[in-house]
């Protein structure tokens, strides 16, 4: 999760899906993260099956975690703790095999465990990453790993343990005392095999590519490790790939946390997990433009046609040029959120002024959306209509579609807010009309902790609309972009700059308003008699 560029709100999922998902994006690619409840191929297969049911448009999988390394030499040097092994086709092997699957014949075991190779797009990305890293004076994978090496107390176990804690012994040298470290358990540290020390050990992550073996066994037998590695050319052992690769295109990425021997311990688990995740993050920066387009289902355009249906509009609006110019001054600009509060008595023309503004400036916004904020239920229904309108014009907005299918108004609200919060979707205008019953803290900041004093704004009658009072801030996007207009009768609304609407002062404007309802021709010219 520390590798995500941004985190997204959760989406509804079927009742039969017991996975817990974390959603986000890396370099514009939408990412779904799910952990396993326990180790093993069966657990991995169950998680993947449920994930694909909930997210049917998943394209590729990255199986990221820790594994046991084989201390052998590759073109990148000796495999050591803290290195990364990535599945890749080599010779007759596809990149991963299930070493405990096959036929038990007389006197021997015939393995039948080759698994599907990683998809071409990921193989190309891995190759490109290797080439680019050779040409750089810094390591992007190491930089990614530092995202979890921040000094935070809860993340300390992800730090590099140091080469002094990399204990590799000969295959026939057994660990002396179960449950104790080599230092405390009586192992002769002089028997350790010298680990090759790289000059840039603390600023470079070594990556090996080749065959990874998957099975249900936790291997703590160095001789068995070496026999299987010799037979199949294996670089690493793990316990989940066979449950996933049979039915979904995946690449396996493992940080080496032990040597699959009796000296195995948990000291390197955190760091090995961190460098594996760091490698996975960097893959997203090497995907081709075409593949990135497929992987990212977020709409590249956020244009929406404006829809005035359901909004009562007068046939002849007397333009309040001063107020219109004031609104423009407030909302003009591209930096940060801009909010204008149109405040005035009922019937004074707040709604019609907002309509006049959006008609005059409609070409300046990518989307202009009208919401009825009369009460909490009504505004949620407005957000539902808005979600349907978004999906109609942007069918690739999968999170909107999923929320609508759930029929949960709160989930729909969150999905629309997420759409508005998208960094590239920064040219919208929202109109919250009829917010006449505010329920606000006296401190109007969103993060105010003073909840002991509540200010309620209601109509000037007898407070009979108190039951409809609600806090509009729960329905505002969180991102610091876009423009907002709020129309209200209440002076308690202080969420932006106030534009106070008073009575019309020009008698000609008043007569023009009166004319269509009086039915008298020439009224604005004074050609009538009072009877």
Q: What is the pLDDT of residue 54?
A: 93
Decide if 313 is inside a domain. no
Q: What is the pLDDT of residue 414?
A: 92
34 and 111 part of one domain:
yes
Among the three residues 264, 285, 306, which one is the final residue of a domain in this structure? 285
Q: What is the pLDDT of residue 516?
A: 55
Decide if 429 is inside a domain. yes
Within 293-397, strands assigned E span 338-344, 367-372
229 and 325 part of one domain:
no
Q: Does the pLDDT of residue 172 top 60, yes or no?
A: yes
228 and 84 part of one domain:
yes
Enclosing domain of residue 44: 6-285
What CATH number is given to the structural domain containing 511? 3.40.50.300
- State the average pLDDT over residues 387-415: 87
Q: What is the pLDDT of residue 514?
A: 58
298 or 367: which carries more pLDDT confidence? Answer: 367
What is the rounded CA–CA span in Å between residue 298 and residue 289? 15
393 and 265 part of one domain:
no
Alpha helices in 189-320 (DSSP H): 222-232, 241-244, 269-283, 289-295
209 and 333 part of one domain:
no
Q: Does the pLDDT of residue 185 top 90, yes or no?
A: no
Residue given tokens 């050609």 in the structure block? 527
Strand-strand pairing, 428-433 and 367-372: parallel
269 and 345 part of one domain:
no
Which pLDDT band, with edges at 50, 70 and 90, does 100 fall under?
confident
416 and 512 part of one domain:
yes
Q: Give the least confident one: 185-199, 372-386, 471-485.
A: 185-199
Mean pLDDT of the chain: 82
What CATH number is given to the structural domain containing 135? 3.40.50.1580
What is the rounded CA–CA span in Å between residue 330 and residue 434? 20
- State the average pLDDT over residues 67-96: 90
188 and 329 part of one domain:
no
Among the three residues 285, 300, 335, which one is the final residue of a domain in this structure? 285
Which pLDDT band, with edges at 50, 70 and 90, does 210 fall under?
very high
Decide if 146 is inside a domain. yes
pLDDT in tens, 452-503: 334 555 444 444 566 788 999 999 998 889 999 999 999 889 889 999 987 7
Share of the chain above pLDDT 90, in %: 38
3-state SS, one letter per residue, for 418-456: HHHHCCCCCCEEEEEECCCCEEEECCCCCCCCCCCCEEE
Decide if 291 is inside a domain. no
By three-state DSSP, how is residue 287 classified? coil
Q: Does the pLDDT of residue 526 top 80, yes or no?
A: no
Angle of helix 120-135 relative to helix 269-283, nearest 10 degrees, comes to 100
Decide if 311 is inside a domain. no
pLDDT in tens, 130-154: 998 988 888 999 999 988 865 566 7
Q: What is the pLDDT of residue 362?
A: 81
209 and 326 part of one domain:
no
Q: What is the pLDDT of residue 216?
A: 87
310 or 28: which carries more pLDDT confidence? Answer: 28
- State the average pLDDT over residues 344-363: 86
235 and 335 part of one domain:
no
Look up the pTM and report it.
0.56
Provide the greatest CA pair distance for the chain: 119
pLDDT in tens, 424-435: 888 899 999 999
Q: What is the pLDDT of residue 443?
A: 44
Decide if 295 is inside a domain. no
- State the average pLDDT over residues 275-283: 96
3-state SS, one letter per residue, for 121-149: HHHHHHHHHHHHHHHCCCCHHHHHHHHHC
DSSP class of 267: T
Q: Does the pLDDT of residue 198 top 70, yes or no?
A: no
200 and 347 part of one domain:
no
The total domain count for the chain is 2
Decide if 65 is inside a domain. yes
Q: Give the least confident one: 66-80, 114-128, 289-303, 357-371.
A: 289-303
Is residue 422 within 8 Å of 367, Cβ to Cβ?
no
263 and 372 part of one domain:
no
Q: Which is nearest to 403 in space by CA: 12, 5, 6, 1?
A: 12
Q: What is the pLDDT of residue 80?
A: 93
Decide if 459 is inside a domain. no
């Amino acid at each position: 999760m520390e590798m995500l560029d941004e985190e997204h709100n959760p989406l509804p999922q079927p009742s039969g899906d017991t996975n817990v998902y974390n959603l986000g994006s890396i370099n514009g690619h939408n990412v779904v993260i799910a952990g396993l409840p326990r180790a093993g191929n069966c657990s991995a297969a169950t998680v993947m099956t449920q994930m694909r049911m909930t997210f049917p448009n998943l394209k590729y999988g990255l199986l990221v975690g820790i594994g046991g390394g084989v201390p052998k030499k590759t073109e990148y040097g000796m495999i050591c703790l803290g290195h990364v092994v990535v599945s890749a086709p080599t010779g007759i092997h596809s990149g991963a095999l299930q070493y405990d699957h096959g036929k038990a014949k007389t006197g021997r075991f015939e393995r039948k465990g080759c698994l599907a190779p990683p998809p071409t797009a990921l193989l190309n990305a891995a190759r490109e990453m290797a080439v680019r890293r050779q040409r750089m004076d810094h390591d992007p994978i190491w930089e990614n790993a530092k995202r979890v090496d921040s000094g935070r107390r809860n993340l300390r176990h992800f730090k590099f343990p140091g080469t002094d804690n990399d204990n590799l012994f000969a295959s026939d040298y057994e660990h002396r005392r179960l449950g104790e470290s080599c230092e405390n358990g009586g192992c002769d540290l002089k028997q350790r095999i010298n680990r090759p020390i790289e000059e840039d050990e603390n600023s470079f992550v070594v990556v090996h590519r080749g065959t990874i073996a998957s099975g249900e066994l936790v291997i703590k037998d160095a001789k068995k490790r070496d026999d299987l590695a010799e037979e199949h050319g294996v670089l690493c052992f793990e316990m989940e790939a066979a449950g996933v690769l049979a039915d979904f295109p995946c690449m396996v990425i493992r940080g080496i946390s032990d040597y699959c021997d009796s000296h195995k311990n948990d000291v390197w688990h955190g760091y090995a997990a961190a460098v594996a995740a760091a490698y996975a993050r960097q893959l997203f920066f090497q995907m081709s433009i075409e593949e990135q387009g497929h992987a990212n289902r977020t709409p590249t355009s956020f244009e929406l046609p404006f829809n005035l249906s359901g909004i009562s509009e007068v046939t002849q609006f007397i333009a309040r040029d001063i107020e219109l110019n004031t609104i423009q001054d407030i909302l003009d600009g591209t930096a940060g959120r801009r909010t204008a509060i149109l405040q005035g008595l009922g019937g004074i023309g707040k709604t019609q002024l907002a309509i006049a503004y959006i008609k005059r400036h409609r070409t300046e916004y990518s989307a202009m959306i009208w919401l009825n904020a009369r009460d909490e239920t009504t505004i949620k229904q407005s957000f539902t209509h808005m979600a349907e309108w978004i999906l109609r014009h942007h069918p690739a907005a999968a999170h909107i579609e999923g929320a609508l299918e759930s029929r949960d108004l709160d989930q729909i609200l969150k999905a629309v807010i997420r759409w508005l919060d998208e960094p590239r979707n920064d040219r919208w205008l929202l109109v919250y009309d009829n917010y006449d019953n505010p329920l606000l803290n006296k401190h109007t900041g969103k993060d105010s902790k003073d909840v002991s004093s509540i200010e309620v704004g209601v109509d000037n009658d007898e407070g009979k609309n108190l039951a409809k009072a609600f806090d509009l801030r729960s329905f505002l996007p969180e991102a610091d972009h876009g423009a907002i207009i709020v129309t209200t009768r209440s002076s308690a609304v202080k969420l932006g700059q106030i534009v106070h609407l008073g009575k019309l002062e020009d008698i000609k404007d008043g007569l023009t308003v009166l004319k269509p309802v009086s039915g008298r021709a020439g009224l604005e010219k004074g050609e009538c008699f009072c009877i």
